[in-house]
Amino acid sequence: MAPKRPKGIEKYDAPAGGWGALRAVAATLAHQQIITQGSTTLLKANQPEGFDCPGCAWPDPKHTSSFEFCENGAKAITWESTAKRVAPEFFASNTVSELWQWTDHQLEDQGRLTHPMRYNHDTDRYEPIEWDAAFSLIGSELNALEHPDLAEFYTSGRASNEAAFLYQLFVRAYGTNNFPDCSNMCHEATSVGLPKSIGVGKGTVSLEDFDHCDAIFSFGHNPGTNHPRMMTTLHDAARRGVPIVVFNPLVERALEKFAAPQDPVEMATLSSTPIASAYHQVRAGGDLAALKGLMKLIFERDAADIAAGGPGVLDRAFIEEHTIGIDVLRQDMENTSWPHILTVSGLTMSALSSAVDVYLTAKRVILCYGMGITQHTQGTANVQQIANFLMLRGNIGREGAGICPLRGHSNVQGDRTVGITEIPNAELIDGMERAFGFRPKAEKGHDAIETIKAIIEGRSKALVCLGGNLAVAMSDPAATFPGMRKLDLAVHIATKLNRSHLLIARTSILLPCLGRTDLDTQASGPQSVTVEDSMSMVHASRGFLNPPGPLLKSEPAIIAGIAKATLGDRYGIEWDVMINNYDRIRDKIEIVFPDFQDFNRRVRVRGGFRLTIPATERIWKTASGKANFLIAKGIDEDPLLSDPTQLVLTTLRSHDQYNTTIYGLDDRYRGVFGRRDIVFMNPEDLATHGLEDGSRIDLLAAGGGEDKAVRGYTAVAYDLPRGIVAGYYPEMNAVIPLDRYDSQSGTPAYKGSAVKVMASAA
């Protein structure tokens, strides 16, 4: 008989997708009480006249496909279009201290916010406030600050291009570049790393390229959960016989086998398609070593081929014409020893060698990567070594080949494009002057980590959040939460209640906004907004559901309200004109960013349009004018992680969550049901720690204080490399110190921090 597993831990043998996905959607619809309205809502997702799915940033074929079935897209949509409401009565019957005791899931599950609210310190409750009163209160608080740099303006990546553009306009006119952004916790390593390598901080492939590639490499992303529509692409590629080589410490079910819910044969016969042709369980934080190992082998094979009279295996013509730095890169590989590579990556020579076989056999290679690459103290270095790896064979800037960062939030890429950045470049500043007649300042502002530090140290006094759940998304709540409570002003523009809203400042204001699925009507009629997907396609999105209440305002309208109350008629910006008709916002976007020329016409064409990515044309917008092979020092993430008395923690999203939004407590594909208070551990690590499957454990941040701890969790024996433990985000942020981040990009090391694990006293 098999040994008894901990409660809620089961073996899940079914493929990803399939009937399990269909059942899960039915349950989600029922839970959100929208069974009748729900199916029509889903049918409008990613349709030409519909709204952009708020789930992920994976593109749709020309954005005109018939509805592609997607379980987690359905969850994102139903979660937003729920019939549940958080009205003033809710706040009247629950104090903020009481709400603080609720779980993150309970807070958001109460439904949509309907009224602007202001916190009252006497009653410990949020109480209704009129919109105009809220705007003027915010305006007077912001104007009372000694300097605009004492305020921070956060953006979460759901905001549309129009909202984000107005937001940066308001903030730049107000006078600061403090733009912390969810991207700082996500793909900042891409935004910082790739421009130096290939001259653009975005992916170079389009969806069509996947039809032409002959190999796909996948590093550190879990598409079955986080980019489910990508599974259609991977499924098609696998069926075409394209090898898919995966590097991931966990064997993720959807990367093993997937049944497409739209494939009648797979559904009827309960069959599925194997996805990965090879699965390499790299150690968390071992990617730099793995990538250097792959490149070292390629150089060795190249030398051997040339010695044997062959032409070598590198794309010499490409390297000669388009790149700089190959010799230094070769030298770096020669200086890196095999034993070191194998130890740090946790992979065997034959595993690396088989991956190189695939790479060298393929003429056209796409490499996809996600948070497993970026969320490390070496995140930027990881990204740049990926670019090196592709460039060795000219796999950038031609059909069927390229680099494919899997973006996070559905419009996080677009927000950046339209000006959400703490480091405005000359083009942005000139463009703003052209469009609005004032010259914003150029000094670098705060990113997310710098914002949190400034708040903790009392150097920042006000925080305005355009969506998101910054305090919970950030590492180290023991440091972050008390800091947030010292603010003079906290303003949250949000659809649903979350823990960040309960970190009360001297003045705390909660403003309810429309979501993607809601009809947005302004003076000129119903409005569309625009978004940019992972592959730089810009298209329109229009909600159609009746808003959750008469008082909700759109994000652009709220931003304009705050701007008018704060700035008066400074610079003569025509806020009302732009709100009455969002075409007028797009006119301005086009003036600031010439890439958007003819914006209003082009976005009305079915499928939208693609922004230029110079690297796809082999135009390199780098200082050297060439693509650069860049060197990363060493391969160890840092000494802390090679200390054998500690374990390396990586953090994961469950199948039932969207970032800090917890839809439910299952993580079906990993066999976890009804709980999140677990930590996955290698069975041998359990044994060496005197623990077993099901033991209650505590985790402590290595080198952190007693307050950086997670206590009373359950250890679950799991197939992952030795020395690695994995737990859920955001709970595990409690053991990730604030100062663990990539120094180049500021991305917190959510996938590589050190912990001590012990039997729980709790």
| Binding interface with ligand MGD (CB under 6 A) | 55-56, 72, 108, 156, 158, 182, 185-186, 219-222, 225-226, 247-250, 252, 282, 284-285, 287, 370-372, 375, 406, 408-409, 466-470, 473, 493-496, 498, 513, 515-516, 555, 650-653, 657-661, 729-730, 732-733, 750-752
The per-residue b/e assignment along 242-269, b for 16 or more CB within 10 angstroms, e otherwise, is: bbbbbbbbbebbbbbbbbbbebeebbee
Quote the least distance from Cβ 480 to ligand MGD, whole Å.
Answer: 11
End-to-end CA distance of the chain: 31
Which does residue 468 touch among ligand MGD, Mo ion, none (CB within 5 to 8 A, set by kind)? Answer: ligand MGD
Which does residue 282 touch among Mo ion, ligand MGD, none (CB within 5 to 8 A, set by kind)? Answer: ligand MGD
Q: Is 370 in the site for Mo ion (CB under 5 A)?
A: no
- The region of 85-93, 186-194, 523-531, 563-571 touching Mo ion under the rule CB under 5 A is 186-194
- Let me know: does 524 contact 580? Beta carbons within 8 Å: yes
> Counting beta carbons within 10 angstroms of the beta carbon of residue 65, is it exposed (0 to 12), middle (13 to 18) or buried (19 or more)?
middle
- Let me know: does 628 contact 196? Beta carbons within 8 Å: yes
- The region of 179-187, 203-211, 266-274, 351-359 touching Mo ion under the rule CB under 5 A is 179-187
DSSP annotation of 479? H
d(CA 165, CA 584): 12
Q: Where are the beta strands (DSSP E) in 388-502?
A: 402-405, 462-466, 489-494
Quote the least distance from Cβ 721 to ligand MGD, whole Å.
Answer: 10
Closest CA relative to residue 500, chosen from 475, 486, 481: 481
Give the three-state DSSP class for 233: helix
Quote the least distance from Cβ 164 to ligand MGD, whole Å.
Answer: 11
β-pair type (16-17, 257-259): parallel
Half-sphere exposure of 244 (CA within 13 A, CB side): 24
Nearest CB to ligand MGD, comparing residues 261 and 325: 261
Which does residue 72 touch among Mo ion, ligand MGD, none (CB within 5 to 8 A, set by kind)? Answer: ligand MGD
Nearest CB to Mo ion, comparing residues 58 and 582: 58
CA dihedral (343, 346, 348, 353) positive or negative: negative
Which does residue 750 touch among ligand MGD, Mo ion, none (CB within 5 to 8 A, set by kind)? Answer: ligand MGD
Give the three-state DSSP class for 214: coil
Nearest CB to Mo ion, comparing residues 204 and 411: 411
- Let me know: does 96 contact 502? Beta carbons within 8 Å: yes
Nearest CB to Mo ion, comparing residues 281 and 498: 498
Q: For the chain, state the CA radius of gyration.
A: 25
| In the complex, residue closest to Mo ion by CB | 408
Bridge partner list, 759: 697
Quote the least distance from Cβ 384 to Mo ion, whole Å.
Answer: 20
> Counting beta carbons within 10 angstroms of the beta carbon of residue 689, is it exposed (0 to 12), middle (13 to 18) or buried (19 or more)?
middle
d(CA 169, CA 162): 11
Nearest CB to ligand MGD, comparing residues 193 and 467: 467
Question: ∠ CA 18-69-661 to the nearest 5 degrees?
Answer: 95
Quote the least distance from Cβ 648 to ligand MGD, whole Å.
Answer: 8
Which does residue 254 touch among ligand MGD, Mo ion, none (CB within 5 to 8 A, set by kind)? Answer: none
- The region of 66-74, 108-116, 181-189, 442-450 touching Mo ion under the rule CB under 5 A is 181-189
User: In this structure, how many other beta carbons lie within 10 angstroms of the beta carbon of residue 441?
Assistant: 14
Closest CA relative to residue 224, chosen from 74, 370, 70: 70
Quote the least distance from Cβ 194 to ligand MGD, whole Å.
Answer: 16
- The region of 148-156, 401-409, 498-506, 564-572 touching Mo ion under the rule CB under 5 A is 401-409
Nearest CB to Mo ion, comparing residues 408 and 414: 408
d(CA 301, CA 278): 21
* Tokens linked to 501: 């809203």
Closest CA relative to residue 291, chosen from 391, 215, 411: 391
Nearest CB to ligand MGD, comparing residues 145 and 732: 732
Which does residue 171 touch among ligand MGD, Mo ion, none (CB within 5 to 8 A, set by kind)? Answer: none
Nearest CB to Mo ion, comparing residues 186 and 489: 186
Nearest CB to ligand MGD, comparing residues 501 and 675: 501
d(CA 544, CA 125): 33
Question: ∠ CA 508-77-679 to the nearest 5 degrees?
Answer: 75
Quote the least distance from Cβ 57 to ligand MGD, whole Å.
Answer: 7
Which does residue 248 touch among ligand MGD, Mo ion, none (CB within 5 to 8 A, set by kind)? Answer: ligand MGD
Nearest CB to ligand MGD, comparing residues 79 and 599: 79
Quote the least distance from Cβ 244 to ligand MGD, whole Å.
Answer: 14
Q: Is 414 in the site for Mo ion (CB under 5 A)?
A: no
Q: Is 408 in the site for Mo ion (CB under 5 A)?
A: yes
- The region of 29-37, 163-171, 289-297, 405-413 touching Mo ion under the rule CB under 5 A is 405-413
Q: Is 186 in the site for Mo ion (CB under 5 A)?
A: yes
Nearest CB to Mo ion, comparing residues 15 and 408: 408
- The region of 182-190, 280-288, 469-477, 664-672 touching Mo ion under the rule CB under 5 A is 182-190
- The region of 183-191, 212-220, 423-431, 516-524 touching Mo ion under the rule CB under 5 A is 183-191
- Let me know: does 513 contact 555? Beta carbons within 8 Å: yes
d(CA 748, CA 32): 34
Nearest CB to Mo ion, comparing residues 186 and 391: 186
Quote the least distance from Cβ 740 to Mo ion, whole Å.
Answer: 18
Question: Which residues contribute to the site for Mo ion (CB under 5 A)?
Answer: 186, 408
